Amino acid sequence: MPVLIVEDGTIVADANSYVSVDDATAYFDTHPDQATWDDAGEDRQIWALIRATRYLEARYSGRWRGAPVGFVGSMTGLVQNLSWPRVVYSPQGYLYGSVAGQYEIPSQLIEAECELALRDIREGSLSPDKKRGAYVTSESVGPLSVSYRQDAPSKTQFPELEVILSPLLEGNLYQMQVVRG
């Protein structure tokens, strides 16, 4: 059985998920795909949550607002495995963070991980191999024909994640922060 180590906002050593199976199950209690989650079984749910966290970490690591608590608190010896919790100032001026050493894991991040875990269960992968890339300009099989633009994305895109995570991200998928020297 895989081991799920949940980051609860206290800088948990070796954390590999932001969401526990119980919290994900509670999330899916009011979700249209509740049966898909429930039918997967606990081992599959754990692997899906771990893969969802890995995807979030790999895909968005350079785009999160703020700084990891472990970075800010490096003088105190905090070692942080995941990108969150973070010290982040929102546009409204409040801080995601410190209340007696407890840091917040944003609800948007929890929702995104749950949605990705469900996709992983349904589709078997969050990053399927793409053989077409951006090079296929036309493909015909009998009467069916498919053409792709030169700039077609070669990675799987999840636009709804961008919407869910937008308050936590700098810019968008095609922007980056530029600082004048």
pLDDT in tens, 49-103: 999 999 999 888 777 777 776 665 444 556 778 888 877 655 555 555 543 345 7
Q: Over 80: is that where the pLDDT of 171 sits?
A: no
Binning pLDDT at 50, 70 and 90, where does residue 24 land? very high
pLDDT digits (tens, 9 = 90+) for 128-166: 655 544 455 566 667 776 666 665 555 566 667 777 777
Report pLDDT for 75.
47
- Asked if residues 76 and 101 have their Cβ atoms less than 8 Å apart, the reply is no
Q: Domain residues of the chain, as ranges?
A: 21-168
Phi and psi angles of residue 86, each rounded to the nearest 5 degrees, phi first: -130, 160
Average pLDDT estimate for 16-44 = 95
With a CB cutoff of 8 Å and minimum separation 6, the contacts of 78 are 11, 69, 70
Burial class from Cβ neighbours inside 10 Å (0-12, 13-18, 19+) for residue 8 reads: middle
| Tens of pLDDT, residues 98-128 | 433 457 788 899 999 999 999 999 988 877 6
Report the chain's mean pLDDT, rounded to a whole number.
76
Q: What is the pLDDT of residue 113?
A: 96
Kindly report the pTM of this predicted structure. 0.72
